[in-house]
Structure formats: C-alpha cells, structure tokens
C-alpha cells in the first residue's frame, strides 16, 4: 500500500514559511541582500569580519566556490551545506565565513565580475539579488 507523504519542502499547514524553508537560491539571495545592507552601514559590519582568521577562511571558501559557474550550481552546493541554518530566535544572525563566501559568489555570478578581496571596498555597488 502506497503512503502519500508531504514533500519536505512544503511548509507545515497553518504556519508561515520560515527562512529555513526557503529554497537554496532564495536563501542565498536573502544572504546577499543582508551582506549588501551590512556594507551600506559600517556599524553593521561585525568586528570579527576584519580578523585575519576570518579573512583567510572567506578566501579559502571562495577559492573552492570559484569553479561554480551558475547560480543554480551554487544553490545546489549551498543546499548541501549544514551551516546555513538560521540561529534561534533572539540570537545575533551574524553569518560566518562560509555563508559570507557563498553570498559573495552569488553576487559575483550576478554581476559576472569577481569581488577581488575580502572585505570588499564597495559591495553595495553590486546590489541586487
């Protein structure tokens, strides 16, 4: 006897969809928009983002993502990563180096030009999802 199970991508009935239920491309677009907003206001840039270890990690992850040539491919890779889950309510949602690297690659694929270094001098000029 076949059992009809709901698809895991469907939000529970009666509850609004959460960010964690967004498809990977929607989650990456949202992450990129947050990154742009943070760079538009220097007070929103976490101090940890300018630490040498963070800068190295962003660079390393970006190197691994560089061969990905489409947003669909990037979204598929992002969806396989466990790190992109949203922190719980009331906690600071400061993305780590991996999420930042994915958001940067998302923006690069849109503009078809690379962001040469981290932290980029002007990421706000690449605005758009």
User: Residue 1: inside a domain, yes or no?
Assistant: no
**Structural domain of residue 113, as residue ranges?**
21-81+94-126
Looking at residue 22, its pLDDT comes to 55
User: Residue 6: inside a domain, yes or no?
Assistant: no
For the stretch 93-116, pLDDT in tens is: 788 899 999 999 999 998 877 766
User: Residue 89: inside a domain, yes or no?
Assistant: no
Q: Which residues contact 18 (CB under 8 A, 6 or more apart)?
A: 11, 86
Predicted structure pTM score: 0.69
- Who wins on pLDDT, 71 or 94? 71
User: Residue 120: inside a domain, yes or no?
Assistant: yes
Q: Which two tokens stand for residue 83?
A: 């790190």
Q: Which of 32, 112, 105 is nearest to 68 (CA)?
A: 105
């Amino acid at each position: 006897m076949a059992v009809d199970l709901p698809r895991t991508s469907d939000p529970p009935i009666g509850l609004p969809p959460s960010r964690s239920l967004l498809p990977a491309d929607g989650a990456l677009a949202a992450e990129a928009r947050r990154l742009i907003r943070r760079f538009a206001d220097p007070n929103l840039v976490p101090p940890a983002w300018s630490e040498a270890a963070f800068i190295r990690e962003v660079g390393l992850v970006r190197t691994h993502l560089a061969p990905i040539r489409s947003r669909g491919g990037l979204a598929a890779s992002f969806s396989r990563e466990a790190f992109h889950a949203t922190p719980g309510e009331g906690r600071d949602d400061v993305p780590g180096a991996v999420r930042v690297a994915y958001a940067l690659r998302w923006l690069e694929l849109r503009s078809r030009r690379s962001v040469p270094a981290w932290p980029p001098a002007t990421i706000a000029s690449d605005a758009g999802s």
